[in-house]
Structure 1
Amino acid sequence: MVIPNSHIQSVKEILHHLPYTTTHLPGVGGEIKAAPEHFQVEEILPYAPCGEGEHLFVTLRRAGWNTADVAAALARCFGLKSMEVGWGGRKDKQAVTTQTFSLHLSMSTPMDRIEATLTELPFTILSVQRHRNKLKTGHVARNRFRILITQTAPGAIDAATAIAEAIRHNGIPNFYGEQRFGIEKANIDRAMQLVERQRPARGKQEAFLVSVIQSALFNIWLTERIGRNQYHQILAGDVAQKTDTGGLFVVDDVDEAMERFGRGAIVYTGPIFGPKMMAAGHPAAEFEAQVLNRFDLDLDTFKRLRAPGARRQAVLRVDDLTVRSEQNGLELAFTLPPGAYATMITREFMRPAG
């Protein structure tokens, strides 16, 4: 199987021009991450460690380190294998990040020795507690962000306040962020090469590249839905998700679904393509299939790659978004569910002013 270069370039072009939802409002310009402390994220776990067990939960704060490198440093310090260190999700390197890792350490290991070893690392250790189970990918309830946008336009607070109000009211498209696709979207090229081999993905790196393809196709599907002016609509056949329980169902009564969508009880979902993905009904399914057909792909492609598929909420609600003026810019504060990208919030603000 050969993926035409025109397909790859088309994917990259669409990802480069994702739509905004606040274009009716002036942006504030500016930049983020001028310094690590300008981008702060705190990971919130869905449970607290119980205080006993062979897994040590270490909550730490770091800057200039990515999650995998922190895990590797912890493993080296205690002579552990990589599989004996767990974490809930990956976090930005260029940020001040508070995150919890689990270490599989015998109960016989003295706590004073553990704490002394941790002090050798270039991190701020906030807490050390034991738990019965390993911390696994996805064990994150939410992430709390505090982001400073610097070099904003004069009078930016008024424009930012209007944007924040629009986002709180309408939400934003739950796009995957550009960091998922790599510098100059090079991960797309690597992912398409994997598709061409027509064999199952092997190891974490290849599994990640499969997710890059799925993420890109989700972004394209959502971009096209917005282009059809259906961002604020529920379609017959949409797979919707209950916001309280997470339960999925196929919409057959559009009027009832629209009422529930309007009050935030449900949200429609988009395809993370794969053979075990919950199928949409007519006509929503046809729009999803068009995305695959456009790039000469099908569900069998992901079956061969051993990517089961899933559904992803299409609209990201950010009810607690606040903005305030700071001496050197604007500070945004908000919380997001795992898998959502803070840069999708900041880009709505950082459009050119006027």
Structure 2
Amino acid sequence: MENSPIFKPLLSTTHSPINAHFSKNASDFVVRENPLYEFSGSGEHLIVEIQKKDLTTAEALSILSGESGAKMRDFGYAGLKDKEGMTTQFISLPSKFEQNLNNFSHEKLKILNTTRHNNKIKIGHLKSNNFFIRLKKVLPSEATRLREVLNLIDKNGYPNYFGYQRFGKFGDNSKSGLEILEALNCGDKKVFGKYNPKLRDFLISAYQSDLFNKWLSKRVEISRFSECFNANELKEIYKFDKQTIANLKSQKQFFKLLQGEVLGHYPYGKVFLCEDLDAEVEKFVARDRTSSGLIVGAKAYESKDVAKEIEDMFFEEANNFKHLMNGSRRYAWVWIENLEYKYNEQQAQFSMSFTLQKGSYATVVLKEILGRDIFEI
């Protein structure tokens, strides 16, 4: 997975790699979804809390479809969960199929609870995800380093990259997405027969995600260099004007904000342009707002000034296809919540748990923690 030829973004952490073994299995990688709202307990939609292991969300729904008689389009879910590991999430289906699930039994899929609600669950209808991760073969010296870097990430936050899962087993989803956009832009209708609509949209989103990761990696680089180099050296490297360099050097937090970038109220809320940089930096440090990156498309909120100049370095190539994508913004810098960790020296195991924003990847956090690709031994 991690050996595929996809772009590898720059980490915000700079420590040498930590030696620990990670296996994405049902005992060592556990995910629990937190719904966006409380379910009412009544209504025409059956809400089912499912626990799955070694199944994708689509595979789990296919099993439930075969058992209940509901069609795949009848199901609602807030997001796709990893195939590897143990994951718990909520799905919805019309309540008329409830009786067909009364005796449901499957070795890889369990129904934990059911209730009712008046709405179908839709993509994005989740608040956050809780993660549990266990690392093995951890020496005491490495456990000390893990504590230190976890405390650092807990304090500073981390770059909200898209994880490797977005880009496919062979890392070619982004390339396929670009090929689809080029074909659609030229009026080539063969692409409609080659990919079903959901797969087509997913591959296009992988292309958007790849551009986002490359842009965010540059912003992490600028933030790093702003701490390592003096003003004259920064001017030589980036050709920024004096005011931009002064703004970068004056910020004490790791991730540096830029004049004219699109910020978002945090942990949720509307986006807006950064006009009073000093005031916004204070609110960023207080975790009241954060930087947002472009998910390129026709309806995305545009940045200005130096922030736009940097975005254009990465997103300009997609301008010919903007009309084929809606576009949006994605938080660029986020924070973990509810961090806990424990080291069992006798078993040489280090366990951790934390909560992440919806759409954020625990594997991205783990990469920051270990300082390397997560499946390297």
State the TM-score bracket (shorter-chain normalisation). Answer: 0.7 to 0.9
1:222 matched residue in structure 2: 216
5 Å-filtered alignment, 1:81-120, equals 81-106=71-96, 113-119=99-105
Could you tell me the TM-score, scaled by structure 2's length?
Answer: 0.82
Q: Which runs of 5+ in 2 are unaligned?
A: 227-253
**1:28–1:153: 8 Å Cα contact kept in structure 2?**
no
- Determine the C-alpha separation between the residues in 2 that align with 1:119 and 1:180: 31
- Determine the C-alpha separation between the residues in 2 that align with 1:339 and 1:149: 23
SS at match of 1:320: strand
The offset of 1:138, in angstroms, is 0.7
Aligned in 2, Cα 1:68/1:116: closer, same or farther, shift over 3 Å? same
Bigger mean CA deviation after superposition, 203-212 or 188-197:
188-197
Could you tell me the TM-score, scaled by structure 1's length?
Answer: 0.87
Bigger mean CA deviation after superposition, 265-274 or 224-233:
224-233
Q: Which runs of 5+ in 1 are unaligned?
A: 1-11
The offset of 1:121, in angstroms, is 6.9
The offset of 1:221, in angstroms, is 0.4
The offset of 1:256, in angstroms, is 1.0
| Pick aligned residue for 1:329 from 349, 365, 371 | 349
Deviations 1:97-135 (A, max 9, x none): 1111111132xx6x6x34533236742221111111111
Bigger mean CA deviation after superposition, 240-249 or 253-262:
240-249
- Determine the C-alpha separation between the residues in 1 that align with 2:258 and 2:54: 44
1:5 matched residue in structure 2: none
The offset of 1:154, in angstroms, is 4.3
1:163 matched residue in structure 2: 149
- Determine the C-alpha separation between the residues in 2 that align with 1:131 and 1:16: 42
The reply on whether 1:21 has 2:41 as its aligned counterpart is: no
- Determine the C-alpha separation between the residues in 1 that align with 2:166 and 2:72: 23
Counterpart of 1:58, as a letter, is: V
**1:27–1:348: 8 Å Cα contact kept in structure 2?**
no
- Determine the C-alpha separation between the residues in 2 that align with 1:60 and 1:73: 12
**2:11–2:220: 8 Å Cα contact kept in structure 1?**
no
Bigger mean CA deviation after superposition, 28-37 or 157-166:
28-37
The offset of 1:62, in angstroms, is 1.6
The reply on whether 1:144 has 2:130 as its aligned counterpart is: yes
SS at match of 2:133: strand
Counterpart of 1:351, as a letter, is: G
The reply on whether 1:312 has 2:330 as its aligned counterpart is: yes
The reply on whether 1:297 has 2:318 as its aligned counterpart is: yes
Q: Over aligned residue pairs, what C-alpha RMSD do you find?
A: 2.2
Percent of residue pairs identical:
29
- Determine the C-alpha separation between the residues in 1 that align with 2:326 and 2:24: 39
2:300 matched residue in structure 1: 277
**Number of matched residues?**
331
The offset of 1:48, in angstroms, is 2.4
2:121 matched residue in structure 1: 135
Aligned in 2, Cα 1:61/1:245: closer, same or farther, shift over 3 Å? closer
Deviations 1:277-308 (A, max 9, x none): 00111121111111123xx331x4131x2x11
SS at match of 1:321: strand
Aligned in 2, Cα 1:255/1:351: closer, same or farther, shift over 3 Å? closer
